[in-house]
């Protein structure tokens, strides 16, 4: 969507006057929220994980859980995968993620502060309850009671990296390469906002993969400008071990799902490039923080940004809130990832079924077919009854 399209969404009358502005008042639309609250096994913790029951089994991967710009010089509380986490930076700006619980009396470390240890001159996270100081490895370097380090007292630390302004948390113990597919956007200008979704991360990603909902959910907004792009009769979908690329032949309209939880809608034209990134970070089995980050390589002048950015953000927020109303209305949750909970028989459902198989870790995902560079799947008009034997429950290999 170009800039004229953004303005048109604001100015062209809809069936609900001022509905865009009203949507921004909807509870749950929390912009730049810093304080979050926060359960799962084998999460990449360097120490033993908390003894918490975990109905969710997530695929081993680098998961986008937040943005670097959310964490400055003070601790930030964040709930991910059901765990309460605290994110903080040392004096060199290096990010650290701990369990948000002091091993002494379980006070929230996110209520503490970052201090310089007087002996080692290292940055430490200080407990707000009794002043214990924990270094970047989670070891206690100072106990005010006897003014000595007590390294046998430690906080579980989580494996994480920062790249492309995204905080990536490693889930599982597999040797995984760092995600680099957002590198091209490092030179772009970007704005973002965040919504607390009443649906799981899985529902949010499935929503992004479901292109056919746009005509109905977004009939008064987005659909006006993309309906002519969506008339291609021979769309293709490439399904690989890295994700799902959906293309309808129009260079301005394609979707790129990067497993496990990032969806990108890029636009490459001779003069401009931009991309909408949607990242659904799991809070627990039923809720997610959904980040919307818009990258562009144009309209970067500071004066123009001041005028344009609020309008762009209003448009994206409105479209996002239209989705969230539907997502919140869907019954059930995805506490068991990838479970079959719907009758999947429409064209877009191929992608949803494939995503479910990835999340569930079904055996076909390890087959030679799955490991090929790509599969070009024409999405034809044939409709298959989901209860028939033509559409197996869990095997994308057999489906295709």
User: In which residue ranges of the chain is pLDDT below 50?
Assistant: 1, 3-4, 6, 10-55, 335, 363-400
Which residues does 387 contact at the CB level (< 8 Å), separation at least 6? Answer: 343
Q: Rounded to the nearest 5°, which phi and psi values hold at 119?
A: -85, -50
pLDDT at 139: 95
pTM confidence score: 0.77
Sheet holding 148-154, edge to edge: 113-116, 123-126, 133-134, 139-143, 148-154
pLDDT at 372: 32
pLDDT at 349: 76
Structure-block tokens of residue 390: 């033509």
DSSP 69: G
DSSP 127: P
Q: Where are the extended beta strands (E) located within 270-391?
A: 273-282, 288-296, 376-378
Mutual orientation of helices 201-209 and 302-329 as an angle, nearest 10°? 110
State which H helix or E strand residue 322 sits in: helix 302-329
Question: Do residues 246 and 209 make contact, with C-beta atoms less than 8 angstroms apart?
Answer: yes
pLDDT at 240: 85
Predicted confidence (pLDDT) per residue in 48-103, tens digit:
233 333 445 788 899 999 999 999 989 999 999 999 999 999 999 999 999 999 99
pLDDT at 255: 85
Residue 211: helix, strand or coil by DSSP?
helix
pLDDT at 343: 65
Which residues does 136 contact at the CB level (< 8 Å), separation at least 6? Answer: 90, 94, 96, 122, 123
pLDDT at 340: 55
The shares of helix, strand and coil residues in the chain, as percent rounded to the nearest 5, are 25, 30, 50
């Amino acid at each position: 969507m170009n800039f004229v399209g953004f303005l048109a969404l604001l100015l062209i009358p809809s069936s609900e006057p001022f509905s865009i502005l009203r949507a921004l008042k909807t509870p749950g639309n929390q912009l730049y929220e810093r304080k979050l609250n926060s359960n799962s096994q084998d999460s990449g913790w360097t120490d033993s994980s908390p003894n918490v029951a975990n109905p969710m089994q997530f695929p081993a991967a680098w998961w986008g859980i937040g943005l670097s710009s959310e964490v400055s010089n003070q601790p930030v509380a964040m709930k991910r995968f059901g765990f309460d986490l605290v994110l903080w930076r040392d004096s060199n700006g290096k990010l650290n993620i701990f369990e948000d619980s002091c091993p002494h009396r379980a006070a929230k470390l996110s209520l503490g502060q970052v201090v310089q240890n007087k002996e080692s001159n290292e940055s430490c996270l200080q407990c707000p309850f009794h002043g214990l100081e924990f270094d970047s490895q989670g070891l206690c370097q100072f106990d005010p009671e006897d003014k000595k380090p007590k390294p046998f007292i430690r906080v579980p630390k989580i494996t994480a990296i920062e790249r492309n302004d995204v905080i990536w948390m490693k889930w599982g113990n597999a040797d995984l390469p760092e995600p680099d597919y957002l590198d091209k956007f490092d030179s772009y200008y970007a704005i973002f906002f965040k919504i607390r979704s009443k649906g799981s991360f899985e529902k949010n990603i499935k929503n992004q993969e479901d292109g056919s909902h746009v005509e109905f959910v977004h009939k008064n907004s987005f659909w006006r400008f993309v309906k002519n792009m969506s008339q291609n009769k021979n769309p293709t979908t490439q399904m690989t071990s890295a994700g799902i690329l959906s293309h309808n032949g129009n260079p301005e309209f394609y979707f790129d799902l990067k497993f496990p939880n990032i969806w990108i809608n890029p636009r490459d034209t001779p003069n401009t490039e931009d991309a909408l990134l949607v990242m659904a970070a799991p809070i627990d089995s039923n809720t997610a923080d959904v980040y919307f980050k818009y990258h562009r390589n144009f309209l970067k002048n500071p004066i123009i940004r001041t005028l344009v950015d609020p309008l762009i953000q209003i448009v994206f927020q409105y479209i996002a809130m239209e989705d969230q109303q539907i997502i919140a209305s869907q019954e059930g949750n995805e506490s068991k990832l990838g479970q079959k909970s719907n009758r999947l028989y429409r064209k877009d459902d191929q992608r949803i079924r494939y995503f479910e198989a990835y999340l569930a870790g079904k055996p076909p995902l390890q087959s030679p077919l799955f490991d090929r560079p790509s599969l070009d799947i024409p999405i034809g008009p044939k409709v298959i009854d989901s209860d028939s034997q033509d559409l197996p429950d869990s095997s994308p290999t057999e489906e295709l």
